[in-house]
Amino acid sequence: MKVLVLNVGSSSVKFEVIETSLEAIENNTEQKLGRGLIDKIGMTSATVKFTRPGAEPFVDTPPIWDHAAAIKQVIKLLTHPEHGILKDASEIEAVGHRVVHGGEYFSKSVIIDDDVAAKIKDCFELAPLHNPHNLKGFQVMHNLMPDIPHVAVFDTSFHQTMPRHAFLYALPYSVYQKHKVRRYGFHGTSHRYMIFSLERKFVKKPRAEFKAITVHLGNGCSIAAVDGGKSQDTSMGFTPLEGLIMGTRCGDIDPAVVLYLMGKEEISMHEMNTMMNKFSGLQGLSGSSNDVRELTEQMQQGNERAELALRAFAYRTRKYVGAYHAALGGAHYIAFAGGIGENSVIVREMVLENLEPLGIHLDKERNRSVPPGGGEITKDGSPVRAFVIPTDEELVIARDTVRCIAKTQK
């Protein structure tokens, strides 16, 4: 089955075509046929990039004024006689849609029908920057391809296994009952992929038999405590703002700081929200960049603010590793993924060095020479083993799409 994976953002559409089946999932033999990104939708500088195995990337700058035009461009790219990978759009047999927020409605991926679409819309308040665009992507694609199944794969669903004492905030209980204010967690597809990879590739042990701390470090960052393949706790909360320091997000702060600054700076709620989400984190601390590669280079050139930002970033992650080690009653494995987790040697070292009392024995040479497919970064015999695992969220979405369809047919 050829599955089109669609990730629709506010000004971008990421897409990938993956050929898979239940048998291919079991044997880890899926084929990735091509992937692309349409960026800066609605701007005069909109760009299109499409890559397929063994070919040079195709880049174009056509006018793309809205999401409907962008999704039509996806189909055009996939069926292009020279650069495409499909003879006809009818070769697409299903579409998997990334949806950020499923609220308490969805603990697993589902085929989208009118009821599911209505519930995704009900979650607009919980994810106003994401869910409207995710739903718009489904609506446009469904109009183009109404006769094939469309599946919603939610960032939040993996964390619906958290116990109540982990997901509730210590606010009046009526706030949760009336407004569903609670910890939801995000990056679920990435955390799931790390668990799958630990089970199938790196430790080759059933997930029911181990406890793991999964660490997704990118421009957005989150960490999860996973027992038996089920999320027990995670750092992101009601929104993706809580938890670790991120590229431009502040992560954990005293909530009274928000009220204090709004009074002192005479700024609105919207302006405060923008400050915490767009101008904080690594960008705010360093004053120069939210890119760990740039900050690492600046630190090596003696930039103290860049070093401060990186050390604060690693320190916050390190604290969560220790906390989740305790929450799990002792983790067996730690996994790093995401652009920073997979590529920053110095951040991984800052997070894990000198944690021998917790049973984590970092091997600095292994950490510096991780192969492209990932690998272990702890010493032989380390009681807690740590790995770098290149994540693949699109593959998780394609797999869930196939499983949902197979279950319905059965």
Which candidate in 155, 227, 233, 392 is catalytic? 155
Nearest to 142 by CA among 196, 199, 192, 67: 67
| CA–CA gap between residue 218 and residue 280 (Å, rounded) | 15
- The dihedrals phi and psi of 320, each to the nearest 5 degrees, come to -70, -35
Q: Is 88 a catalytic residue?
A: no
SS3 201: helix
CB 20 within 8 A of CB 38: no
**Amino acid sitting at position 33:** L
Q: Please give the structure tokens belonging to residue 362.
A: 């970092």
Tell whether the torsion through CA atoms of 254, 256, 260 and 266 is positive or negative.
Answer: positive
CA atoms of 159 and 338, how far apart (whole Å): 18
User: Do residues 7 and 13 touch, judged by C-beta distance below 8 A?
Assistant: yes
**Closest C-alpha among 302, 281, 284, 306 to residue 293:** 306
DSSP per residue over 7-35, as a string? Answer: EE-SSEEEEEEEE--HHHHHHT--EEEEE
Q: How many residues can be counted in the chain?
A: 410
**Enclosing H/E stretch for 81:** none
Residue recorded with tokens 């992929």: 193
Q: What are phi and psi of 187, to 5 degrees?
A: 60, 25
* Burial of 13: CB neighbours in 10 Å, binned 0-12, 13-18, 19+: buried
Catalytic annotation, residues: 155
